Structure 1
Amino acid sequence: MDLIMKTGAAPVLRLNALDDVLIARRPLLEGEVLEQEGITVRQSIVPGHKIACRRIEAGQPVRRYGQIIGFAIAAIEPGDHVHVHNLAMGEFSRDYAFGVDVRAASTPTRIPTFMGIVRRDGRVATRNYIGILTSVNCSATVARAIADHFRRDINPAALQGYPNVDGVVALTHSAGCAVDASGDGLSLLRRTLAGYATHPNFAAVLVIGLGCETNQIDALLSTQGLSRSDTLRTFSIQDTGGTSKSIAKGIAQVQALLGEANRVQREPVGVQHLTVGLQCGGSDGYSGITANPALGNAVDRLVACGGTAILSETPEIYGAEHLLTRRAVSREVGEKLIARIHWWEHYCARMGAELNNNPSAGNKAGGLTTILEKSLGAVAKAGSSNLTDVYEYAQTVTAHGLVFMDTPGYDPVSATGQVAGGANLIAFTTGRGSAYGCAPAPSIKLATNSALWARQREDMDINCGEIAEDKLTIEACGAAIFDAMLRIASGERSMSEQHGYGQNEFVPWQIDAVT
């Protein structure tokens, strides 16, 4: 196994003086003596996993980051491997302490810029796509066929002469019919589609329906305050006369849009026009030590200059929400966050599930044990900035600074909501190697450990693993991430874009019963 350390570095990490566990930086062998810690390894432990540094009685809380990550289900001795076999969830109270850690805003001495695309209404784009949306699953095949006609790897001539158009993408989904016409699920889908239809990264959008679906295009437009225009066009397959005619019509519509879409030019704009969605997927024991706090440092830089960052994945802040409410700019904002936590508790109870089911097999293999532990590492993406507002899924984000959007922990669903809310860039940390993109917003991939970086270099943009090797500080890595945000927002293609990720990752959240 690749080692996550440099020669001579300590074999374990102590994150907080209150911690009951240490984090392995390299494989620890049974019988090995950790002289600096004064403990003997009782079972072999792989990198990123936890080793007890003191005796913990059954039923006692176990701390990492100085916070509770679970409770011992059996007595744990110094040197024991601490994981799912001896650590589990448990109830404990959290002090929400609304607003006690709010910091006074500072005035930046310099506002960084990036090369953005300024739309006629003043909104700023980081990419310039033509989008094809569907009202229902039944029109997905037509939408994809139209987009495929303009793929540069399939039909290079289709976009020849349009160098300023990043591409034509079809964002399809599996909903839109057999749901309550007045239910929350359909309202949420429509809000998501509207967010994409009006996203600044789209020069124009074509919405295609079947014709008989619950999610009628006219109702979609009217409920979301949208109107047809030269840059928002619609038609249905049934009215057009079938699949072939609809594909031909769609191709013709896109061809008519390309000339105007190509006329854009990039120009310097302030970083206050950058809205970054924060994601972590395939997390491991290093996520909360390297990539997430480094991204948090970049977020603090962005927010200090007037930009916006969207923290999400409500099940992945569960157990760490009290760290965010302390930074809420008002009690009202803090209470809005707690209300979303309670919604998820009731939602899981109604579904016969529990929030601790969130850590995946890969998370656990990487060293994470409970959702509490995962959440404490996940909130590090938010840095130390004040929490300025809380939004429901796919709501338009209007506040600047650090905000929270209620989403599931499943990355494609979560990021879809963030982009619908206005994110024009995604920053995505991963410890296991998530394959991900998010058209029309570019996605930056941040590796949490150097073994992943070496193994899956073609999918990663930045290696944050050197933090755990004492080769790089969180501050220096944060500065590098912030610089990458500006470069990729300016048009530099991220690794996920180079591989063509982004269309299949459009996954609106479905919460209604399908009948």
Structure 2
Amino acid sequence: MGDRLDKPLYIKINELDNVAIIVNDNGLTKGTTFADGLTLIDDIPQGHKVALSDINRDQAIIRYGEIIGYAMVDIAKGSWINESITKMPTAPELHELPIATKVPASLPPLDGYTFEGYRNADGSVGTRNILGITMSVNCVSGVVEYVAKIIERELLPKYPNVDGVVALTHLYGCGVAIDAPAAIVPIRTIHNLAKNPNFGGEIMVVSLGCEKFQPARLLKGTADTIPIRLQSSDDVITLQDEHGFKSMVERILAVAEKHLKRLNLRQRETVSASELVVGMQCGGSDAFSGVTSNPSVGFASDLLVRAGATVMFSEVTEVRDGIHLLTPRAVNEEVGKALIREMQWYDDYLAAGKVDRSANTTPGNKKGGLNNIVEKAMGSIAKSGKSAIVEVLSPGQKPTKKGLIFAATPASDFVCGTQQVASGITVQVFTTGRGTPYGLAMVPVIKMSSRNVVAEQWFDLIDISAGDIAIGKATIEDIGWRLFHLILATASGKKPWSDHWGLHNPLAIFNPAPIT
């Protein structure tokens, strides 16, 4: 298996491209000649770019049919093109973008696909049956996590239909500017996290008592949320009202057991694939991500949209340089303007921190062949497939439509994951080129590698590989269909590797508001 080949191979994506990436494991050495006569004049690592023609200084470097940079020196055909000789282009001007000019036609419906899910009273459908314990303030996280371990050890064995318990920990609530305009983001996020369909509507809140973010404020939410109505006033536990630590523990356990009894009565039932809400994310990306894994995710996204499901893609800084390719796909002017609004908000947010989108790329991205955020973004947006974008969400908002949705989030794996959970995803697909043990406790995460060598190295962490695409053993359509069926199986209870091992990252709520 792997990406091993008996001949040198490169991948050119678009006929306009003047660069390609090296496919072979361990790269290729100077003097290597390809079947078309191209000869390398440098050693070039796997995934890194080779010049397919002479590129003069200040001339555009083109990949994906898009300008990903400009040459800082004269570059000879067969040379290694890396970050040190590439100047990043400016981002597309937001006020000049075409809107809804190339709205994709609806693809034929995909009927008959189902999964085994948990139907909730509000009409949503979960893929897991989990007790979520919400907190109004980070001060109580130690106590809640302590009690969650007791629940796992002593209570869950009595309730076999419950998949687990999750302490919805966060770093908000105390010492915060609660009325700052940007506070809408963490408040909305914590409110909507509690309502994720995988928690079945069984909501309980643990409070300290003196925090800025009072339970009443949490339950009310923001102007764009629906207030939470608890089943009992006992579902809010205030630790400062208790007499000692043991009293706190016993009180939380008593309330939790009431919810566990109700959750245990729930059963999976056959539901349409249209009830799925799937988040698409990438992390530890490399130059193959935009060639193999992300396009496969995009194909699966289109299949899900055809089946009537809801699909979210995110990561503003990994969309910003490809925004001119997305606004034409907006279903109408309102959606196109909302895309621009979120891009502008994030531009301003980064500017306030005296950085720009170029700060996104990591050492691992660059080692994997991605020169800059422009190239990374072109590969990242491939996850969106080819469907029309029907809605745009600000961080932590819930969708009101089915179809392809852009949910604005930071690109950080953990923050993006948290925000997508708040927006209601019930399954997440996470692509990686370098490898990551990332996982979420409340939503199953399917990890897809861009290369077979990663899947082989991490055979018990990666759920599916798209690497066969790079070596011509499979097509994007093949892997996309395979992923689509894996999503349905995972939604029905199949455990991805992260759940098998219990690898679950902490929540990381996006808080752009001041801390006092």
Assess same fold via TM > 0.5. yes
Aligned to 2:306: 304
Q: Residue 444 of structure 1 aligns to a residue in which SS?
A: strand
Equivalences for residues 155-170 of structure 1 within 5 A: 155=153, 157-170=154-167
Q: Residue 335 of structure 1 aligns to a residue in which SS?
A: helix
Q: Deviations over 1:347-398 (max 9, x none)?
A: 2111111111101111111111111100000000011010111110000111
C-alpha contact 1:184 1:511 (8 A) present in aligned 2:
no
In structure 2, distance between residues paired with 1:267 and 1:246: 37
Aligned to 1:451: 453
In structure 1, distance between residues paired with 2:58 and 2:304: 42
In structure 2, distance between residues paired with 1:161 and 1:469: 50
Aligned to 1:513: 514
Compute the displacement of 1:256 (Å): 2.3
Query: What is the TM-score when the length of structure 1 is the normalising length?
Result: 0.95
Aligned to 1:113: 114
In structure 1, distance between residues paired with 2:328 and 2:304: 20
C-alpha contact 1:197 1:232 (8 A) present in aligned 2:
no
Task: From the superposition, tell whether residues 123 and 92 of structure 1 become closer, same or farther in structure 2 (CA, over 3 Å).
Answer: closer
Task: From the superposition, tell whether residues 314 and 280 of structure 1 become closer, same or farther in structure 2 (CA, over 3 Å).
Answer: same
- In the alignment, structure 2 segments of 5+ residues that lack a partner are none
C-alpha contact 1:6 1:470 (8 A) present in aligned 2:
no
C-alpha contact 2:169 2:506 (8 A) present in aligned 1:
no
Aligned to 2:361: 359
Paired AA for residue 121 in structure 1: D
- Residue 187 of structure 1 is aligned with which of 184, 187, 196? 184
In structure 2, distance between residues paired with 1:124 and 1:385: 23
Q: Residue 207 of structure 1 aligns to a residue in which SS?
A: strand
Paired AA for residue 122 in structure 1: G
Task: From the superposition, tell whether residues 383 and 106 of structure 1 become closer, same or farther in structure 2 (CA, over 3 Å).
Answer: closer
C-alpha contact 2:429 2:445 (8 A) present in aligned 1:
yes
Aligned residues: 508
- Residue 170 of structure 2 is aligned with which of 167, 170, 173? 173
Compute the displacement of 1:230 (Å): 4.4
Q: Deviations over 1:319-359 (max 9, x none)?
A: 11111112111122112111211222222111111111101
Compute the displacement of 1:83 (Å): 1.2
Aligned to 1:70: 69
Paired AA for residue 217 in structure 2: A
In structure 2, distance between residues paired with 1:252 and 1:373: 53
Aligned to 1:213: 211
Identify which range, 76-85 or 485-494, moves more after superposition: 76-85
Paired AA for residue 311 in structure 2: A
Q: Residue 193 of structure 1 aligns to a residue in which SS?
A: helix
- In the alignment, structure 1 segments of 5+ residues that lack a partner are none
Aligned-residue RMSD, C-alpha: 1.8
Query: What is the TM-score when the length of structure 2 is the normalising length?
Result: 0.95
Task: From the superposition, tell whether residues 42 and 232 of structure 1 become closer, same or farther in structure 2 (CA, over 3 Å).
Answer: farther
In structure 1, distance between residues paired with 2:412 and 2:62: 26
Equivalences for residues 316-335 of structure 1 within 5 A: 316-335=318-337
Aligned to 2:394: 392
Task: From the superposition, tell whether residues 18 and 328 of structure 1 become closer, same or farther in structure 2 (CA, over 3 Å).
Answer: same
Equivalences for residues 396-415 of structure 1 within 5 A: 396-415=398-417
Compute the displacement of 1:433 (Å): 0.8
Aligned to 2:246: 244
In structure 2, distance between residues paired with 1:30 and 1:201: 51
In structure 2, distance between residues paired with 1:43 and 1:459: 35
Compute the displacement of 1:106 (Å): 4.0
Equivalences for residues 48-67 of structure 1 within 5 A: 48-67=47-66
Aligned to 2:464: 462
Task: From the superposition, tell whether residues 261 and 92 of structure 1 become closer, same or farther in structure 2 (CA, over 3 Å).
Answer: closer
Q: Residue 320 of structure 2 aligns to a residue in which SS?
A: coil
Paired AA for residue 222 in structure 1: K
Paired AA for residue 431 in structure 1: G
Compute the displacement of 1:231 (Å): 10
In structure 2, distance between residues paired with 1:428 and 1:268: 25
Q: Residue 105 of structure 1 aligns to a residue in which SS?
A: coil
